[in-house]
Structure 1
Amino acid sequence: MINWLPILVMLFIGIGFALASLGVSYLLSPKNPTPEKLSPYESGIFPEEEPSQRFPVKFYMVAMLYIVFDIEIIFLLAWATRFEQLGWYGIIVIFIFTFFVLETLYYVWKRNVLDWNVPRRQRYHEPVKDYEGSG
């Protein structure tokens, strides 16, 4: 237990600092809400009308792919710091892990998820039908 004492002290200090910062900012901030301050905006431009459509799923797919490859980099960096201690076992495991991540990239590439100009039905390799129904 004595070994964990410095970690627990730092944890409580961090939580206390975060809570104190939130409390002080709440107490010292001006309380003058106006419609302009309460409206959401993007890049400093106030919206003139409500959005007419939802965001396409493409944005979410790119975000999920970013998370997958970001986690891969975290694992690769952790592996690189212990490369000599892991030996052949570490090399085999990281090659298997990299294979599965690259297989995911190949699958995404073949499904044209990263290509923004392909219509949706062609993205998922669905047959394209014309208006007479002969497609």
Structure 2
Amino acid sequence: MLELYVPVLVMIALGVFFGVVNILVAEYIGPRRASKEKNSTYESGMEPLRSARERFSVKFYMVAMLFILFDIEIIFMYPWAVQVRQLGAVGFIAMVLFMVLLLAGYVYIIKKGALSWE
């Protein structure tokens, strides 16, 4: 039974080995001198105008959380779509109920104005 895990363990060991070797080689042969130019931020060839440590609006976090919520919806829908014929009417009704609950949540979000930027 344990011999089934040997190929997986070998691949994990090889991945860790190559990762560690790459880090050590880069550390050994890489440049060690830091300068102001090397430590500066570089974006599209433009000089930085102000600090990158600015506060973001809470709206960005709200949109991110809503994206995760509806992304999880898709994660649940994909296996259901693959097995919909085997699940029958009970599986279909369960998914319709799930979708109705998510639609109600989406309508609530729209009514509360969580997606408006004003």
Normalised by the length of structure 2, the TM-score is 0.72
Shift of 1:57: 0.6
2:57 aligned partner, one-letter code: P
24-33 vs 45-54, which moves further = 45-54
Unaligned runs of 5+ in 2: none
Aligned to 1:57: 58
2: CA distance, partners of 1:100 / 1:20: 50
CA RMSD of superposed structures (Å): 2.7
**Which residue pairs with 1:10 in the alignment?**
11
Tell me the residue number matched to 1:127: none
Structure 1, unpaired ranges of 5+: 118-135
Match of 1:79 in 2: 80
Compare the two structures and name the one with the higher helix fraction. Answer: 2
Deviation at 1:44, TM superposition (A): 4.6
**Separation (CA, whole Å) in 1 of partners of 2:72 and 2:30:** 37
Taking structure 1 as the reference length, what is the TM-score of the superposition? 0.65
Task: Tell me which stretches of 4 or more aligned residues in structure 1 moved more than 6 Å.
Answer: none
Higher RCO, 1 vs 2 (CA within 8 Å, ≥6 residues apart): 2
